[in-house]
Amino acid sequence: MILRTIIISVAVLAATIATAATHEYTVTLSSDLSSLDVEARLAPGVRRLSARSRDARDSLVRMRDCDTGNELPGTSRTVESDDDLRCLSYSVDLRRIERPDRRSYFTRATIVVPVTDWMWRPRLGGNDEIVVSFRLPDGIGVSVPWRPLEDGAHRFLLRSSPQSGTGLSVFGQFDRQVVDVAGASLRIVSLPSETNPIGAEAIRWTQQTAEIITLAYGRFPNPHARVILFPVTSRRDSSAVPFGRVVRDGGETIELLMDPGRPSEAFTDDGTATHEFSHLMLPYITRDERWVSEGFAQYYQNVLLARAGRYSQQDAWRKLREGLERGRESVPDLSPNEAAGGGERNSRMKIYWSSAALALMADIELRRRSGGAESLDQVLERLQACCLPSRRTWSGRDLFEKLDSLIETPLFMELYDRHADAPGFPDFEPLLERPEFAEIRAAITARRYTGEPDK
């Protein structure tokens, strides 16, 4: 029976590998950054391609079967052929993509456009992939969300992903640095600005913030993540990093709006980047349950900044308490799932802090029952080793079931079942007040990083 099972498994694996498709795209950028010419060699041949953006058709100049020369008809998002299409050729006018919002960014020498506005591709199965090669004018660079295949060769690997947002492509003259962060090669792209340019100090702070994430379990969660820094000018009393988000579209990109003109202490006190980097310790959770990922990131934002010395332990616990109290006061008649999925107003704090309470509960319980030998850090390290970066969308239940499978005695599903669909808020007060947990609380936020001075 064992031999038969092995034979079947090998046969299934061989069939999977045999049916996987590798498509080859060559993208040529014009010297004035105004257009792209794309040739796609499709294997083994497809009959339908699509673009995820409704605007892709507006920027499309022409599309044809490059083997026959026939023009290809389609709708706003799809192109179809009666026969197997093995070679696709099309041109894109990038100037038609320019819009006055954050998703497009144009200067004289650099443009940033959504990949979905110019890329038409077949549906990718589990093991399908696209290898994209760029042909660029001299002095022009490219940055895309996908994994680089060779340093400096402008070749990238695109595979299926959660598509949690819209990945951005950057063309032109911009600062690109690859920094090593605990086994990861982090690609930092800083966009140019004539009035408020991002300098070396801001880039160094970004790298240091990425290093703070390694204080959870010793390494960065994604070995090939990308960071895009958008220069902005904020009000004097506003954050040094007024906005950030993680986009998982073909790869994981952290986008940060950054005011490089703010003083260094404003960056030290800012938790936005740490929050966004912390998201990478979990897979993408469906938007209807985003309270799960937001809360874990809130918890680790404060814990890790304390471990790094950017927050004192007292400040970290004060910030956690204040946030949890805001979450408790927010829409108390709704459950976390209702708050995240229903679009109700004034539910932001519930979405951002419900799972932070569960993370605190789990961390303290894991440490209590193991005598400090196990923690939430270690469970997330096992999650990273088995499952990250993930190419699919997870539900909250998927995540909590997986976390339980990584520990000896289940814990996480009990927390999920008790709170995910229940009105009110988890009772966090005893964990912050009871003296018997004082030593555990101190261990959670104990200083681990010596690269910056204590506050």
- The closest of 146, 120, 325, 311 to 226, measured between CA atoms, is 146
Measured CA to CA, the distance from residue 241 to residue 360 in angstroms comes to 26
The answer, yes or no, to whether the previous bond of 100 is cis (omega within 30 of 0) is no
Predicted local confidence at residue 88, as pLDDT? 94
Residue 45: which H helix or E strand, with range? strand 35-50
Predicted pLDDT at 99: 62
Q: Which residue, among 93, 99, 121, has the nearest Cα to 33 in the 3D structure?
A: 93
Other C-beta atoms closer than 10 Å to the C-beta of 250 total: 27
| 75 vs 57: CA distance, rounded Å | 8
Extended beta strands in 60-196, E state? 60-65, 78-93, 105-106, 110-114, 129-135, 141-143, 147-150, 155-159, 168-172, 175-181, 184-190
Q: What is the pLDDT of residue 443?
A: 98
Fold adopted by 22-102+114-161: Immunoglobulin-like (2.60.40)
* Whether residue 148 has a cis bond before it, omega within 30° of 0: no
Q: 121 pairs with which residues across the strands?
A: 50
In this prediction, residue 151 carries a pLDDT of 67
Contact yes or no for 40/25 (Cβ under 8 A):
yes
- What DSSP state is assigned to residue 279? G
CA 420 to chain centre: 23
* pLDDT value for 80: 87
What are the two backbone dihedrals, phi and then psi, of residue 145, each rounded to the nearest 5 degrees? -70, -15
Whether residue 335 contacts residue 420, with contact meaning beta carbons closer than 8 Å, is answered with yes
Backbone phi and psi for residue 86, each to the nearest 5 degrees, phi listed first: -110, -15
Task: Extract the tokens encoding 120.
Answer: 């038409």
Residue 12 burial (CB count, 10 A): 10
CB-based contact 259:265 (threshold 8 Å)? no
Helix, coil or strand: residue 414: helix
Nearest to 453 by CA among 261, 312, 263: 312
Cα(176)–Cα(52) distance, integer angstroms: 27
Note down pLDDT in tens along the chain; length 455 residues: 444 444 444 343 444 444 689 999 999 999 999 999 999 999 988 999 999 998 899 999 999 999 999 998 877 889 988 889 999 999 999 988 866 554 556 777 899 999 999 999 999 988 999 999 999 999 999 999 999 997 668 999 999 999 888 999 999 999 999 999 998 999 999 999 988 999 999 999 999 999 999 999 999 999 999 999 999 987 766 789 999 999 999 999 999 999 999 998 899 889 999 999 999 999 999 999 999 999 999 999 999 999 999 999 999 999 999 999 999 999 999 999 999 988 667 899 999 999 999 999 999 999 999 999 999 999 999 999 999 999 999 999 999 999 999 999 999 999 999 999 999 999 999 999 999 999 999 999 999 865 554 44
CATH match of 174-277 with 1.10.10: no
In the chain, CATH 2.60.40.3650 covers: 22-102+114-161
- Which pLDDT score is estimated for 453? 44
Long-range contacts of 40-46 (CB under 8 A, 24+ apart): 40/87, 40/88, 40/89, 40/120, 40/121, 41/86, 41/87, 42/85, 42/86, 42/87, 42/88, 42/122, 43/86, 44/84, 44/86, 45/84, 45/85, 45/86, 46/81, 46/84, 46/85, 46/122
Closest to 121 (Cα-Cα) out of 27, 258, 241 = 27
User: 257 vs 200, 226, 268, 272, 381, CA distance in Å?
Assistant: 16, 14, 16, 10, 29
Q: What is the pTM of this model?
A: 0.92
> Which CATH homologous superfamily contains domain 282-455?
Neutral Protease Domain 2 (1.10.390.10)
The confidence score (pLDDT) of residue 269 equals: 86
Domain with CATH 1.10.390.10 in the chain: 282-455
Structure tokens at 29: 């950028």
* CB neighbour list of residue 414: distance below 8 Å, 6 or more residues apart: none
Would you state the pLDDT for residue 55?
Answer: 85
The answer to whether 186 touches 178, Cβ cutoff 8 Å, is yes
